[in-house]
Chains A and B, each alone.
Chain A
């Protein structure tokens, strides 16, 4: 048997689909320059993709045809040699829109192999999000802002070839940089892209991550039942109505309302921004609660609205409809760790919470620039200088 190699690309559904597909296709074509054979495919269950919901694309490469067969007719490879993460907020966990439970971003990564994340953060910061695992691995960062390259009108920003350069360094068995260069010259026909790929090939480094390092949080797991234990008639139990919000920790006051939610689907790994709520200025107008498409707001005993961060997928509708200045603000998800209740923190220490709130919402981008996607024409062009700066620094 020859050698079988697999690369998975974890990305934000729809927004990064084209980019992910391009990267996995490029991998196969670059490896083919060395006589290797390969296939590229997206995870079937992710389609039809939803905006921002974590999705995966794969490249399987083998030294010969027979070996390649072992990597075919699967929804996803059971183990991969490199995992590429195209948006660093995915490090908090990956949950497909189907019923899989949540997965750590490096679930399929072979021990000792490399996790590549596109991020502006450093390794210690990312490791606050990336979950602990028993087998050590390597973490490498390709510095950059989350790319939408290839989606609709968004121009190519070289993220695809930068990733190829990094992979050539991380996994030389897959392909040499020479093969990447040949592929870019022949297929993409761009000297600038060769230069971008080379820059990341030259400077790509990794840090060793030990078993004890990383986010200790337990991700939600789901045990699939056997056919005798499943309900018949293709039916699932409906959600009960819900009940009062938990007792106020300070006053023990019980009240409010918390709707029952699907215990088997947490939604929050879809989030790239989260709402931060000012409970002191909230007028209890109910608009956020009414308009939230996922019923993510809990009604607190005070009558204010607490965004339940296990249920919120970060769409930002609440911020749009809130009539009070800075009462609901969407802040980049990478600023946070954990999903603790903001209302609980507010009740525990109002002054400390409001102080935290003030600093936190300052980190939010100006509202006209803020969204899961791009909100206005020309935004991408405006961001190019900043992106270039980051890429140059590496």
Chain B
């Protein structure tokens, strides 16, 4: 029996208070602690929870910031983009089609090196009009230079928001970062969260210093001119340079986070659960981790050596690290709470990325079975996980399995 390693180790108690709050509220509190200067808002469920909490903090006099309700998501992201270029620490966010409505503003932010931090309350894209979680909204910007993370608890949401500002505002990075929170399961569900003291946060999070990229009368620059083919490749290469160094910066920040707050996340990029002696593993992002972990423990009792890998950072994608990890197992099942219609093997986005990473960085070639499940907020249930695990074990035994399978679907 593998040791049940808790994903987060608490070295010592460095926190001021404990509160029963939602994931969205946790991020709102992180914004307060980070002393965010400009917040823009436009309601869409489930993101709107965070704007409600922030507006409440402002109204109660607990938080001092420019709180701007924009006339739409596009304006929302444009406003924080401009504020950030002028040196403000900013927060923003959206969900589902709201995020897509902001798309033009989202595409320009990485090239302009805007370290905006956003919450995406993951929500299915219309149509049909639906509120439940699906990851396609945040994933739509995966090729554009955004950093993308998925958290699975309110505590991690708060911690990740602090880490996000530290990473994004690092001079070597300066790109936007989105924290994805599964709609309902995280945004609307309250859990006990340890809230750090302001002094500790101040220690961890230096002031945002934009240096020579600051738009200011004392530093006269023109941002975002038109450029022809003589310039664009060089501009793209500058953004590519961020991705070359991003993993190192993230590791540094996690080390410092542990030092400051005493909470240890181990590998920043993905969490491994009961994988030490596992024959097969499942992999996924977000709150599906909880039913999967329950199922893993149940299956372990039945003697099935299965583990779980939860991907925390999707961009930068921890290709070599993850491939090295997954290469240890006899088969891998990837659970996608998203779709990528027409993709190779008709898999979801994460399965396709995992296969691509393993092709270049894994010495072994375990079968990678893609599962599409939990769409539109449908629960990923323990029996679902058992079914998937069985399929992955069959693949591990060399019995060919369809490379993509829908789980939890009515036949």
User: Chain A: residues with CB nearer than 8 A to chain B?
Assistant: 45, 75, 98-100, 224-227, 230-240
Contacts and interface: CB of A to CB of B under 8 A. Distances in A.
Given A45-B229, A99-B228, A232 B174 contact: yes
Nearest to B113: A233
A222 to B, nearest CB: 10
B213 interface: yes
Please indicate which of the listed interface residues A225, A226, A233, A238 has the most CB atoms of chain B within 10 Å of its own CB. Answer: A233
A74 to B, nearest CB: 11
13 contacts: A45-B228, A45-B229, A75-B229, A99-B230, A227-B241, A231-B213, A234-B111, A234-B112, A234-B235, A235-B213, A235-B222, A237-B220, A238-B220
B172 to A, nearest CB: 11
Contacts of A100: 230
The 4 closest A-B pairs by CB, nearest first: A238-B220, A227-B234, A233-B113, A227-B237
B238 interface: yes
Given A226-B234, A230-B238, A236 B112 contact: no
A234 B228 contact: no
B235 A236 contact: no
B238 A235 contact: no
- Chain B interface SS verdict (over half): mixed
Contact of A224 (B113, B230, B235): B230
Interface centre among A98, A226, A232, A240 (most CB of B within 10 A): A232
Given A99-B228, A233-B213, A234-B111, A227 B220 contact: no
Contacts of A224: 230-231
Given A45-B229, A99-B230, A239-B220, A233 B174 contact: yes
Contact of B225 (A225, A232, A234, A240): A234
B212 A234 contact: no
Contacts of A75: 229
B223 A234 contact: yes
Interface residues of B, number: 24
Interface of B: 85, 111-113, 174, 212-213, 220-225, 227-231, 233-235, 237-238, 241
B235 A230 contact: yes
B228 A98 contact: yes
B222 A231 contact: no
B347 to A, nearest CB: 34
Given A227-B235, A231-B212, 18 more contacts: A45-B228, A99-B228, A100-B230, A224-B230, A227-B233, A227-B238, A227-B241, A230-B231, A232-B113, A233-B112, A234-B112, A235-B213, A235-B223, A236-B225, A238-B220, A238-B221, A239-B220, A240-B220
Contacts of B85: 233
B229 A232 contact: no
A82 B237 CA distance: 37
Nearest to B236: A227
Given A45-B228, A224-B230, A232 B238 contact: yes
Nearest to A238: B220
A304 B68 CA distance: 49
A49 to B, nearest CB: 14
Contacts of B231: 99, 224, 230
A233 B210 CA distance: 11
A238 B223 CA distance: 9
Contacts of B222: 235-238
Contacts of B224: 234-235
A295 to B, nearest CB: 16
A232 B213 contact: yes
A75 B230 CA distance: 11
A240 B218 CA distance: 10
B204 to A, nearest CB: 25
A234 B222 CA distance: 9
A240 B222 CA distance: 12
B76 to A, nearest CB: 21
A231 to B, nearest CB: 7
Contacts of A98: 228, 230
Nearest to A225: B234
B234 A237 contact: no
A238 B220 CA distance: 5
A236 B221 contact: yes
Contact of B221 (A45, A225, A235): A235
A238 to B, nearest CB: 3
Nearest to B234: A227
A100 B213 CA distance: 25
B144 to A, nearest CB: 14
Nearest to B233: A227
Nearest to B171: A232
B230 to A, nearest CB: 6
B223 A233 contact: yes
A239 B227 CA distance: 18
Q: Which residue, of A45, A98, A234, A238, has the highest number of chain B Cβ atoms within 10 A?
A: A234
B237 A237 contact: no
A286 B234 CA distance: 43
Given A75-B229, A98-B228, A99-B228, A230 B234 contact: yes
A226 B231 CA distance: 9
B209 to A, nearest CB: 14
Contacts of A45: 228-229
Nearest to A226: B234
Contacts of A227: 233-235, 237-238, 241
Contacts of A233: 85, 111-113, 174, 213, 223
A216 B238 CA distance: 39
A75 B85 CA distance: 34
A383 to B, nearest CB: 37
A20 B113 CA distance: 42
Nearest to A237: B221
A231 B214 CA distance: 12
Nearest to A236: B222
A234 B234 CA distance: 10
B244 to A, nearest CB: 12
B368 to A, nearest CB: 35
